[in-house]
């Protein structure tokens, strides 16, 4: 399973980066191959200062070795080894009318002293973070998520959408990071779903990513915008940074397992503002976004 999924994310990385370069028309992904001293490594691809994408990363990694003490305590195990692989991407467009997007699909195995698998699961999801709200974009993104889920279980979409709304929430700001999407974790074998079923489901979601995001980018990338709208984008990016550094489990896992810092923090945008006690004008498009972020919406 781990070899099959690792092969899949390598191919998916190629597919996604090729399509994004085509959309951008100027920027290209720089590739960085790295090794982790304790075992494994990854292939980081970053695009910067493109025509469409100001900064973005589409990274894959496969790491293994002894589970660090902090993570052994977290999982309640002793002397465990692990293998983890996944693809993680974040795209920060230049135009504030184009939303930021994040996605991640991952697989984890844990072993006993004899090397037997004692636990294994899939996780992942994708979510949209706009700066200006176009309802049809939100509906499109969520509809693609729902279509992928419905092929496996009619309850998956509502369940994993709710988890996404709950997870990507800045509790210290009382607002969502964005408009959500899907978030699933610890997807293990059960009477209803074998590990092969979970594999099929996760790659269904992974394969749907470009369909969910690309039409939105194409529709919005050439819209005009003002300096004030760009300032608003940078203020909202600050909230994105806050979530990733304060709440995000993937960031914390990477830091605690001696992950590669450049890859872990590639999700941070290049230009951000923190304006003291900032509030948008009443009745403005900016205020409308804030109100929507405070209460999750059923887009489909």
Residue 101 near residue 177 (C-beta atoms within 8 A): no
Residue 297 near residue 164 (C-beta atoms within 8 A): no
With a cut of 80, say whether residue 89 has pLDDT above it: yes
pLDDT at residue 75, as a whole number: 79
Catalytic residue among 102, 142, 247, 278: 102
Least confident of 58-72, 157-171, 208-222, 286-300: 58-72
Residue 102 annotated to the active site: yes
pLDDT confidence bin for 13, thresholds 50/70/90: very high
Condensed to tens digits (0 to 9), the pLDDT of residues 122-161 reads: 999 999 999 999 999 999 999 999 999 999 999 999 999 9
Condensed to tens digits (0 to 9), the pLDDT of residues 187-229 reads: 999 999 999 999 999 999 999 999 999 999 999 999 999 999 9
pLDDT confidence bin for 250, thresholds 50/70/90: confident
Can you tell me the mean pLDDT for 100-115? 94
pLDDT at residue 297, as a whole number: 96
> What backbone phi and psi angles, to 5 degrees, belong to 162?
-60, -40
Q: What is the pTM of this model?
A: 0.95
Three state DSSP letters for 260-290: CHHHHHHHCCCCCCCCCCCCCCCCCHHHHHH
pLDDT confidence bin for 31, thresholds 50/70/90: very high
pLDDT at residue 51, as a whole number: 98
Point out which residues pair with 175 in neighbouring strands: 170
Instruction: Give the whole-angstrom CA distance, residue 191 versus residue 193.
Output: 6
- Alpha helices by DSSP H, 108-167: 135-150, 156-167
Rg (CA), the chain: 19
CA dihedral 166, 109, 89, 208 (to 10 degrees): -80
Q: At what angle do helices 2-24 and 195-220 cross, to 10 degrees?
A: 10
pLDDT at residue 177, as a whole number: 96
More confident residue, 71 or 217: 217
pLDDT confidence bin for 76, thresholds 50/70/90: confident
Domains assigned to the chain: 2-294 (3.40.1500.10)
With a cut of 90, say whether residue 94 has pLDDT above it: yes
Within 8 A by CB and 6+ apart from 216, the residues are 98, 99, 128, 134, 137, 140, 141
């Amino acid at each position: 399973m781990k070899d099959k999924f690792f092969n899949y994310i390598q191919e998916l990385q190629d597919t996604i980066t090729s399509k994004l370069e085509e959309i951008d028309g100027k920027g290209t992904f720089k590739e960085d191959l790295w090794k982790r001293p304790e075992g494994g490594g990854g292939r980081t691809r970053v695009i910067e200062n493109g025509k469409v994408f100001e900064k973005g990363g589409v990274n894959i990694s496969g790491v293994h070795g002894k589970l660090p003490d902090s993570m052994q305590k977290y999982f309640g195990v002793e002397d465990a080894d692990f293998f983890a692989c996944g693809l993680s991407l974040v795209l920060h467009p230049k135009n504030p009318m184009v939303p930021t997007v994040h996605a991640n699909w991952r697989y984890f195995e844990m072993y006993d002293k004899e090397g037997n698998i004692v636990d294994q699961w899939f996780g992942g999801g994708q979510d949209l973070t706009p700066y200006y709200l176009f309802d049809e974009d939100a509906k499109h993104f969520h509809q693609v998520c729902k279509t992928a889920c419905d092929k496996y279980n009619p309850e998956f979409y509502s369940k994993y959408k709710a988890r996404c709304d709950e997870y990507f929430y800045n509790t210290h700001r009382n607002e969502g990071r964005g408009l959500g999407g899907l978030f699933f974790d610890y997807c293990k074998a059960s009477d209803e779903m074998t590990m092969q079923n979970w594999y099929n489901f996760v790659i269904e979601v992974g394969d749907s990513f470009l369909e969910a995001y690309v039409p939105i980018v194409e529709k919005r990338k050439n819209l005009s915008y003002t300096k004030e709208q760009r300032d608003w984008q940078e203020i909202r990016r600050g909230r994105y940074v806050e979530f990733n550094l304060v709440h995000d489990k993937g960031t914390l896992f990477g830091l605690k397992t001696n992950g590669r810092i450049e890859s872990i923090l590639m999700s941070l945008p290049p230009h951000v503002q923190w304006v003291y006690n900032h509030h948008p004008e009443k009745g403005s498009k900016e205020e409308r976004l804030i109100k929507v972020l405070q209460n999750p919406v059923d887009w489909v």
